[in-house]
């Protein structure tokens, strides 16, 4: 069988996939946890393999005309047996309630009459019994129709665990005040040094600070010296400057806090395990008394993003022109299987997981979001106790 080309080999694989997909869940679960397995390149007592080079996307393109756009799901696995040969495994997902019957979507008639069993007819429904794949009988079609309507009453056993904890925020006001006070004192110190430097450079201070230069103030020698006759600089109201700066810092503080949380947070990991194959499930988790954010890599931190007292550095080109800064973090691809919403009015995080499928005995993990809990000092004790009690839910 050559699965890399159109013809007999592809028709055999398509017929097998259709037959395995058109089984009843209770019958399929008795073997291989419900999976249908087709082995290519091996037989009893030997496994010569087939030439390497079969790619899943190429095989999918060859099978699609027979299986249809919304046909059954299958996977391809391989086992090397030599440098240039391998054994292939076609794995058909276990059937489950809610799946419709899967009909064949294209005719195929082998050129050799000896291969007539591999023939396919557009519109036929094929089923698999213990030894062969054949056209379904009337009662089997009826059972498959019932399978399609059984999703609403099927019990699903799902084990869900959450690894990680919420980022608990108790008090940020005192940290902000200490930061602002330290920066304000730096501004005052800088102003004092600048005033001292201006005084030392003035004509009055020139001779006073260096007796050897007193000669510069003698009338007879005054024309020999380039002593500026400047109007004294009016001292700034440094406290007014600090007041205006604090207003700017305070307006930036909420955005900086969000960045601090993002760089300091660790994403929670949600693991889902189920003994039943579930196609396109939707799992909704609700976390109360919290909101969520997306963690960021601490290696990419920019100081002006987390410290409001640090100005954003100017971006300029080789001739001094202004170059707009580009934050490439905004262009990262989002995880299409994880979505979350902060419901601010209810102080609730709603996390929605939408994987393509959940497969038996196989962990399915999701991450990329961190819940955070913020409380004021007067409520810290009460909410902190509640967070510790509910953290494992």
In this structure, the answer to whether residues 203 and 107 fall within a common structural domain is: no
The larger pLDDT score, comparing residue 361 to residue 9, is at 9
Q: For residue 153, what pLDDT band results from cuts at 50, 70 and 90?
A: low
d(CA 29, CA 95): 9
pLDDT at 291: 81
- Give 65-102 pLDDT, tens digit per residue: 999 988 999 999 999 999 999 999 999 999 988 899 99
pLDDT at 381: 32
In this structure, the answer to whether residues 185 and 69 fall within a common structural domain is: no
In this structure, the answer to whether residues 83 and 133 fall within a common structural domain is: yes
Determine, yes or no, domain membership for 1: no
Residue 213 backbone dihedrals phi, psi, to 5 degrees: -95, 10
d(CA 391, CA 166): 8
The larger pLDDT score, comparing residue 338 to residue 392, is at 338
Mean pLDDT of 266-294: 83
Q: Is the pLDDT of residue 11 over 50?
A: yes
In this structure, the answer to whether residues 145 and 180 fall within a common structural domain is: no
* Domains contained in the chain, number: 2
Q: Is the pLDDT of residue 379 over 80?
A: no
Determine, yes or no, domain membership for 251: yes
pLDDT at 260: 86
Mean pLDDT of 206-217: 51
pLDDT at 336: 62
Q: Is the pLDDT of residue 14 over 90?
A: yes
Range of the domain at 198: 163-324+334-390
Domain boundary among 123, 154, 185: 154
- Give 28-66 pLDDT, tens digit per residue: 988 888 999 999 999 888 999 999 988 999 999 999 999
How many other CB atoms sit within 10 Å of the CB of residue 178?
10
Determine, yes or no, domain membership for 3: no
Determine, yes or no, domain membership for 194: yes
Q: Is the pLDDT of residue 367 over 90?
A: no
Determine, yes or no, domain membership for 130: yes
Q: Which of 109-118, 312-321, 323-332 has the lowest mean pLDDT?
A: 323-332
Place of tokens 């707009």: 324
Q: Is the pLDDT of residue 288 over 70?
A: yes
Determine, yes or no, domain membership for 344: yes
Mean pLDDT of 211-236: 52
d(CA 149, CA 102): 14
In this structure, the answer to whether residues 101 and 186 fall within a common structural domain is: no
Determine, yes or no, domain membership for 2: no
Q: For residue 325, what pLDDT band results from cuts at 50, 70 and 90?
A: low
Domain boundary among 101, 128, 154: 154
- Give 173-206 pLDDT, tens digit per residue: 888 899 999 999 999 999 888 888 877 766 555 4
Per the prediction, the chain carries an average pLDDT of 79
pLDDT at 380: 34
The larger pLDDT score, comparing residue 333 to residue 5, is at 5
Q: Would you tell me the crossing angle of helices 56-67 and 8-21 to the nearest 10 degrees?
A: 70
- Alpha carbon 377 to its chain's center: 33
Domain boundary among 110, 136, 154: 154
């Amino acid at each position: 069988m050559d699965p890399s080309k159109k013809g007999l080999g592809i028709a055999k694989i398509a017929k097998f996939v259709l037959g395995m997909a058109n089984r009843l869940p209770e019958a399929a679960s008795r073997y291989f946890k419900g999976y249908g397995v087709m082995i290519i390149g091996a037989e009893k007592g030997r496994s010569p393999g087939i030439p390497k080079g079969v790619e899943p996307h190429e095989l999918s393109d060859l099978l699609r005309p027979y299986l249809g756009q919304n046909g059954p799901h299958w996977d391809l696995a391989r086992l090397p047996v030599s440098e240039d040969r391998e054994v292939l495994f076609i794995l058909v997902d276990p059937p489950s309630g809610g799946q419709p019957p899967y009909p064949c979507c294209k005719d195929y008639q082998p050129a050799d009459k000896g291969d007539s069993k591999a023939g396919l007819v557009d519109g036929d429904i094929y089923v698999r019994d213990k030894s062969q794949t054949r056209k379904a009988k009337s009662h089997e079609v009826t059972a498959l129709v019932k399978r399609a309507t059984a999703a609403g009453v099927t019990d699903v056993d799902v084990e869900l665990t959450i690894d990680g904890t919420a980022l608990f925020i108790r008090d940020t006001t005192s940290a902000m005040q200490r930061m602002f006070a330290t920066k304000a004192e730096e501004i005052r110190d800088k102003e004092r040094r600048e005033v001292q430097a201006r005084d030392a450079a003035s004509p009055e201070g020139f001779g006073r600070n260096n007796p050897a230069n007193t000669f510069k103030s003698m009338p007879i020698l005054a024309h020999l010296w380039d002593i500026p006759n400047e109007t004294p600089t009016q001292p700034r109201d440094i406290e007014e400057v600090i007041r205006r700066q604090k207003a700017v810092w305070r307006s930036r503080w909420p955005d900086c806090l969000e960045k601090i949380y993002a760089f300091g947070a660790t994403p929670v990991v949600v693991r889902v395990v189920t003994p039943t194959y579930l196609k396109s499930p939707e799992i909704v988790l609700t976390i109360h008394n919290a909101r969520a954010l997306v963690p960021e890599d601490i290696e990419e931190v920019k100081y002006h993003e987390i410290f409001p007292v640090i100005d954003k550095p100017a971006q300029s080109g080789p001739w001094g022109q202004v170059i707009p800064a580009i934050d490439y973090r905004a262009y990262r691809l989002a995880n299409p299987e994880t979505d979350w919403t902060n419901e601010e009015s209810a102080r609730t995080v709603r996390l929605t997981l939408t994987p393509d499928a959940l497969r038996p005995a196989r962990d399915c993990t999701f991450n990329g979001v961190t819940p955070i809990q913020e409380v004021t000092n007067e409520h810290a004790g009460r909410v902190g106790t509640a967070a510790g009690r509910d953290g494992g839910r």
